[in-house]
Amino acid sequence: MEQTELLWQYQEADMAADALESEIKRSPARLALKKNREFLVEQQNAVKRMEEEVAEMVDRVDVIKVAITRMEEQLGTLTKRMQDAPPSDLAQAQEMAKDAQRLLGDLSGFEQEMQRIQQDAADRDRQEKDIRVKYAKVKAEYDQQKIEYEALYKEQMKGLDEKRAAAEAKTKDIEPALLAKYQQIKQHCSRPVAKLYGDQCGGCNMNLPQASLRSLKNGNKITECENCGRMLIQM
Ligand SMILES: [Zn+2]
């Protein structure tokens, strides 16, 4: 059998194996599994983010508690000072009242912030519980899908191995240099070999330059399409 014929037959078998492989990759069971896996990872990340946020809140609450204690002490000191040595004139009284107001204002600001944080933490807690419920449901579904898909996948891969072996068998009598060229072109072109139709490349449908056509007419069975880079065969 001619090299061109062998090469063409090999490509047909190789393409059949590639087609099956992409069919396996796109199988609905696989896509459903992938979708659920992505969902589970997303939820895990969401929970992780929330835990980090809650940890930050806890840190902030600690800071606020210290600040509140300090202000209460300052207020205590101020009150004691007013009792021990009452202001002697109006200006001094106003000064002390201003200090007390400022401290009370700061205190109420911190207390409000504390309330907001507690509210936020409670919200996150609720969200996290919701996520855990949803997660458990999808995880159970995913585990079952995975078991089923693994059995299917094993079966599919057996079919693919057979197709790959059949293609491999067809390379037996092909010249190694041609085969190497085929593999090299396949890196950027899914069908490396094209037939010549008239003076057109069957791969990209472009007309071949005269030089290439002359080379084929002079008895060369294989040339290269200058446009798409495929091996062009005349059969
Ligand atoms: Zn071409």
User: Ligand 1 center to residue 30 CA distance, Å?
Assistant: 35
Which residues are near ligand 1, the ion (C-beta closer than 5 Å)?
201, 203-204, 225, 227-228
Say how far apart CA 90 and CA 137 lie, in whole Å: 71
Question: In what side-by-side order are the strands of the sheet with 222-224?
Answer: 200-201, 193-197, 231-233, 222-224
Domains of the chain, CATH where assigned: 3-169 (1.10.287.1490), 176-233 (no CATH)
User: Ligand 1 center to residue 216 CA distance, Å?
Assistant: 15
pLDDT band (50, 70, 90) for residue 230? very high
pLDDT band (50, 70, 90) for residue 220? confident
**At residue 225, what are phi and psi to the nearest 5 degrees?**
-75, 125
Say how far apart CA 106 and CA 103 lie, in whole Å: 5
The pLDDT of residue 212 is above 90: no
What is the pLDDT at residue 202? 94
The 3-state DSSP class for residue 231 equals: strand
The residue among 158, 141, 179, 121 whose CA lies nearest residue 17 is 158
Buried b (16+ CB within 10 A) or exposed e, 117-154: beeebeebeeebeebeeebeebeeebeebeeebeeebe
What is the pLDDT at residue 160? 98
Most confidently modeled range among 55-59, 88-92, 165-169, 228-232: 165-169
The pLDDT of residue 157 is above 90: yes
What is the pLDDT at residue 4? 93
The pLDDT of residue 219 is above 90: no
Percent of the chain whose predicted confidence (pLDDT) is above 90: 81
Percent of the chain whose predicted confidence (pLDDT) is above 70: 100
User: Ligand 1 center to residue 217 CA distance, Å?
Assistant: 18
What is the arithmetic mean of pLDDT over 162-172?
97
User: Ligand 1 center to residue 160 CA distance, Å?
Assistant: 29
User: Ligand 1 center to residue 170 CA distance, Å?
Assistant: 24
Query: pLDDT for 192-210, tens place per residue?
Result: 999 999 889 999 999 988 8
The residue among 118, 148, 121 whose CA lies nearest residue 30 is 148
What is the pLDDT at residue 217? 80
Say how far apart CA 188 and CA 193 lie, in whole Å: 12
Asked if 8 contacts 167 with a C-beta cutoff of 8 angstroms, the reply is: no
Tell me the DSSP string of 163-181: HHHHHHHTTTTS-HHHHHH
User: Ligand 1 center to residue 112 CA distance, Å?
Assistant: 73
The pLDDT of residue 211 is above 90: no
pLDDT band (50, 70, 90) for residue 235? confident
User: Ligand 1 center to residue 26 CA distance, Å?
Assistant: 29
User: Ligand 1 center to residue 27 CA distance, Å?
Assistant: 32
Residue 201 CB neighbours (<10 A): 23
> Cα angle at 155 between 151 and 157, to 5 degrees?
115
Asked if 232 contacts 201 with a C-beta cutoff of 8 angstroms, the reply is: yes
User: Ligand 1 center to residue 207 CA distance, Å?
Assistant: 8
> pTM to 2 decimals?
0.67
Query: pLDDT for 100-151, tens place per residue?
Result: 999 999 999 999 999 999 999 999 999 999 999 999 999 999 999 999 999 9
What is the arithmetic mean of pLDDT over 159-166?
98
User: Ligand 1 center to residue 225 CA distance, Å?
Assistant: 5
Say how far apart CA 197 and CA 200 lie, in whole Å: 5
At 17, list the tokens.
């194996």
User: Ligand 1 center to residue 214 CA distance, Å?
Assistant: 16
Residue for token digits 């060229």?
181
Rg (CA), the chain: 39
User: Ligand 1 center to residue 230 CA distance, Å?
Assistant: 6
